[in-house]
Amino acid sequence: MPEPSQYEPRRPEPDFPQQSQEHPGSTGEMDPPPDHGEHSYRGSGLLDGFKTVLTGGDSGIGRAVALAFAREGADVLFTYLPEEGEEAARTAQLVEAAGRTAVAVPCDIREEEQCVRLIDRARAEFGRVDVLVNNAAYQMAQPDGIAGISTEQFDRVVRTNLYGMFWLSKLALPHMPEGGSIINTTSVQAYQPSPHLLDYAMTKGGIVSFTHGLAQTVAGDGIRVNAVAPGPVWTPLIPSTMPDTASFGKQSPLGRPAQPAELAPAYVFLASPQARYITGEILNATGGTPLP
């Protein structure tokens, strides 16, 4: 077989080293380091002039989406948690290196008032919201299943994954022009829940229903609502929330996890005018795992 191009996204082998980190994890400590498209993504103006709001843009899928959106011509306001400041600074550098505006906002989307301030900031910076990407999420694996899920964990998972998405969608919609869109991040877990991620899988199922329902509600206003359902993806959440990283991704037919760079094009497509007749859809990016 030919040697891969230097721009080929790094694809960790199925037996990459066992490793663990404290939550929320650090990109720099991951082995191998995730590929966000730094050397591979080439834009073509699909989102030229778009004003976007992205939650969880500091690392992982969020960083890859921020980078891709910027290289497609979009300005990006993104959220991060205060403890993720160094990660957020790197994402901002990537957006600015593409010649676009980066606005990094510390925000805990579990709190409604912080969501209100976030959309107010977006209005002040951009005047409108062309695309909202509800990407931020929390998970923590529990080998004992439901018995190991504390009320504190359950509350954090639900408020991060569902409440934040609900509030931000409701707040952003009045400031979205016709042709705008909302893109939610769900998961293969919505359809094939793992017992050790029961609370997380439940919320991802809720995101699917929310996407279908909201799409019908706002279609008459010319707003589209879609979601991306990733399979296993190599992000800091994995070594910081999963006990067995050595086997991570092996269950997919492709036999490996995705790199964040391999997910970003799905978000670009759904945000772009090329998808203007697509709404209420879930774009599955699962490495071949069949979903309904």
Residues 35-74: pLDDT tens digits? 899 999 999 999 999 999 999 999 899 999 999 999 999 9
Average pLDDT, the chain: 90
How far, rounded to the nearest angstrom, does the alpha carbon of residue 93 sit from its chain's CA centroid?
A: 19
CATH number, domain of 219, equals 3.40.50.720
Whether 5 is in a domain gets the answer no
Q: What local confidence, expressed as pLDDT, does residue 4 receive?
A: 45
What band does 6 get if pLDDT is binned at 50, 70 and 90? very low
Q: What local confidence, expressed as pLDDT, does residue 1 receive?
A: 36
Instruction: Find the mean pLDDT for residues 262-291.
Output: 95
- HEC sequence for 10-25: CCCCCCCCCCCCCCCC
Return the percentage of the chain with pLDDT > 70, whole number: 86
Whether 34 is in a domain gets the answer no
Backbone phi, then psi, for 260, in 5-degree steps? Answer: -50, -35
Look at 288 and 153; give whichever has higher pLDDT: 153
Q: Are 115 and 167 in contact (CB under 8 A)?
A: yes
CA end-to-end span of the chain = 34
Q: What local confidence, expressed as pLDDT, does residue 191 receive?
A: 96
The DSSP 8-state label assigned to residue 145 in this structure reads G
Q: CA-to-CA distance for 73 and 51, rounded, in angstroms? A: 9
Whether 67 is in a domain gets the answer yes
In the predicted model, is pLDDT for residue 28 greater than 70?
no
Whether 23 is in a domain gets the answer no
Enter the tokens of residue 134.
């509800």
Q: What local confidence, expressed as pLDDT, does residue 97 receive?
A: 97
Q: Are 252 and 289 in contact (CB under 8 A)?
A: yes
Instruction: Find the mean pLDDT for residues 178-207.
Output: 97
Per the annotation, the verdict on 138 as an active-site residue is no
Q: What local confidence, expressed as pLDDT, does residue 7 receive?
A: 46
Whether 62 is in a domain gets the answer yes
Please report which residue ranges of the chain form alpha helices under DSSP H.
60-71, 85-97, 112-126, 151-158, 164-172, 198-218, 237-241, 264-271
Residue range of the domain that includes 213: 44-285
Q: CA-to-CA distance for 58 and 187, rounded, in angstroms? A: 19
Domain count, the chain: 1
Whether 166 is in a domain gets the answer yes
Cis peptide leading into residue 290 (ω within 30°)? no
Q: What local confidence, expressed as pLDDT, does residue 137 receive?
A: 95
Whether 206 is in a domain gets the answer yes
| CA nearest neighbour of 70 among 57, 82, 56 | 57
Given 80, 138, 191, 200, which residue is catalytic?
200
How does pLDDT run across 120-161, given as a tens digit for each residue? 999 999 999 999 999 999 999 999 999 999 999 999 999 999
Q: CA-to-CA distance for 281 and 113, rounded, in angstroms? A: 30
Instruction: Find the mean pLDDT for residues 172-179.
Output: 98
Whether 20 is in a domain gets the answer no
**pTM of the predicted model as reported, rounded to 2 decimal places:** 0.90
What band does 255 get if pLDDT is binned at 50, 70 and 90? confident
Cis peptide leading into residue 24 (ω within 30°)? yes
